[in-house]
Chains A and B, each alone.
Chain A
């Protein structure tokens, strides 16, 4: 039972980070029709931006993180939208997919060339230690990661559901033309979506990199897991991405411990296949019809 609870907490912490990246996937897809296959690299880049501010700028971790978020908003939000998404949005999805795959490779190779091909240590701003709950020893860091990531995800849900801006973003996601007719500033809402995604990946980087280490290929498995989480939860529902992320994180941890460590990467893919066969819209997703 102790082991089960420890795996549950570890799985939720891992899954919450997947959920952050997965929510970015779904937001970009809904409002901008963009599938960002560079999402994993979008998590990796802020880690190196933060290391840059610390080593080259001599900043302490928290100010470095604040500047990293600012840079991410500019680079991964504004610049990504203007330079890549806007020109390609009018073309089909496949064009965007290829472009973001290329962007991911470019970011990865650039970090490798400009920084290093070796893993780098990354400062851990979260508490390390354990928490004893009724005889079960749990990782304090895992609990904080879960609370921070889940808190951000739920905050985003509340923002989307309860604020005027959030509802406008949802309206754009549901029907861009109708949103425009009712007076919503569609380009602004789309930009906001890209900025929210940049914020999500920056926080994900801060949470995960101290343990995973900063390396150019940090985003490979993370991006794949987030993509699976988004599809499992429902690509057209941000709360689906949250559920999908947690589910994939739990499956990853429990399967490694109880089924097979060697095949642990296969189980989330198996889940993906099952979902696509039985419920293609995802666990919480809406079935959509598209004219072709």
Chain B
């Protein structure tokens, strides 16, 4: 009952934004609400809704109430492009999402053409390598996360050979390529190099190959549901060497789905609800109260994204999209400037984000932070 009331309060907070156009600012959230990305997208959407509720409760952005319209990409790049076009017809100030890199790559061209800033949850390296001045990240790109992980595999595990299991789409291919490059730089050989499919359910042949490769560890770069299935298959077949991942593999949804199979999994996360920070803990608690579930890193990303919009709009003193983009490139936002960003963040000229990050291990169904890593920029 308490959760229902809290969720209702969030919705009332959003509804309060539905005033006239001059009294409100429209944010389009183009996100995965069904299909393979439903889990990550739902977390992101809830994070955005929670942020909107809080911002509206504190008077909105520059006195205007925030109105968020959610558009379901169905986890399909073609659909994401179509719904983004529909969203742009409503003349939003900023577009948030999507998370799937393949969707972002096709629709960031549309926002660039429309000159609307887009803050995405995607990680594929080449999103910010294309010189698009309108796109910004909320999470590390693969180029930022993989070196930290490769260092850990070399120094922390002493690995000489590593298997790689990746999902065959832009996200997975980008992560695989980035990791292979980093491993090679450190003299680590790639053992089994296995591509898998989105929404694959049977990982038995993949795990048999990983088991027999003789590598020192396996690096798993799949989406949430597939990660859980893969981990279950690893456990089923008695795999006992280190299992390493980047963010997704230690995601709360994977922990919920994989149960005991996720125990001992290690890796790097850019954001974690279990981060040893009061700001993150308070946000995670509010999320759980409102939505009855623990947030994953995507919920935090969605929450941060809207607060970035608020801070930059207030810095520019208005709702000029070009000024917004210009102000965000190279900006540093501290928690003193805007507590809603949860951790100090810095954007570079390409739209990549930099902040502290964490090495974690899953123990007793929880992410346990084993090391806090500094910002790449120091």
Please indicate whether A and B come from the same complex rather than being unrelated chains.
yes
Which chain B residues lie closer than 8 Å to A117 at the CB level? 33-34, 38
User: A261 is contacted by which of B38, B199, B205, B237 (Cβ under 8 Å)?
Assistant: B205
Instruction: Check A7–B38 contact: CB distance below 8 A.
Output: no
Q: B195 on the interface (CB 8 Å rule)? A: yes
Main secondary structure of the interface of B (DSSP, over half): helix
Q: A262 on the interface (CB 8 Å rule)? A: yes
Among A11, A121, A129, which residue has the most Cβ atoms of chain B within 10 A?
Answer: A121
A129 and B238 in contact, given A10-B205, A119-B225, A261-B205 (Cβ under 8 angstroms): yes
Q: B86 on the interface (CB 8 Å rule)? A: no
Instruction: Check A253–B204 contact: CB distance below 8 A.
Output: yes
User: Which residue from chain A places its CB closest to the CB of B239 in the assembled complex?
Assistant: A130
A262 and B168 in contact, given A118-B38, A118-B42, A121-B256 (Cβ under 8 angstroms): yes
User: A256 is contacted by which of B33, B38, B206 (Cβ under 8 Å)?
Assistant: B206
Q: B363 on the interface (CB 8 Å rule)? A: no
B244 to chain A, nearest CB (A): 20
Q: Mark B196-208, 1 if CB is under 8 A from A, else 0.
A: 1101011011101
- A66 to B33: give the CA distance in the assembly, Å: 34
A257 and B257 in contact, given A6-B237, A141-B236, A213-B225 (Cβ under 8 angstroms): no
- A88 to B200: give the CA distance in the assembly, Å: 35
Which chain A residues lie closer than 8 Å to B232 at the CB level? 210-211
Which chain B residues lie closer than 8 Å to A130 at the CB level? 237-238
Which chain B residues lie closer than 8 Å to A217 at the CB level? 199
Q: Mark A194-226, 1 if CB is under 8 A from B, else 0.
A: 000000000000000011110101100110000
Q: Mark A5-45, 1 if CB is under 8 A from B, else 0.
A: 01100110110000000000000000000000000000000
Which chain A residues lie closer than 8 Å to B168 at the CB level? 262
Instruction: Check B211–A6 contact: CB distance below 8 A.
Output: yes
Q: A79 on the interface (CB 8 Å rule)? A: no
Interface residue ranges of B1-54 to A (CB < 8 Å): 33-34, 38-39, 42
Q: A185 on the interface (CB 8 Å rule)? A: no
Which chain A residues lie closer than 8 Å to B259 at the CB level? 121
A14 and B34 in contact, given A137-B238, A211-B232, A213-B225 (Cβ under 8 angstroms): no
User: A212 is contacted by which of B34, B195, B205, B229 (Cβ under 8 Å)?
Assistant: B229
Q: A139 on the interface (CB 8 Å rule)? A: yes
Q: Mark A130-141, 1 if CB is under 8 A from B, else 0.
A: 100000010101
Q: Residues of B at under 8 Å CB distance from A?
A: 33-34, 38-39, 42, 168, 194-197, 199, 201-202, 204-206, 208-209, 211-212, 225, 228-229, 232-233, 235-238, 253, 256-259
What are 26 sample pairs from A and B whose C-beta atoms fall under 8 A apart?
A: A6-B208, A6-B212, A7-B208, A10-B205, A14-B204, A117-B33, A117-B38, A118-B39, A119-B39, A121-B228, A121-B256, A121-B259, A130-B237, A137-B211, A137-B238, A139-B204, A139-B237, A142-B236, A211-B229, A211-B232, A213-B201, A256-B206, A257-B209, A261-B196, A261-B205, A264-B197
Q: Residues of A at under 8 Å CB distance from B?
A: 2-3, 6-7, 10-11, 13-14, 112, 117-121, 128-130, 137, 139, 141-142, 210-213, 215, 217-218, 221-222, 252-254, 256-257, 261-262, 264-265
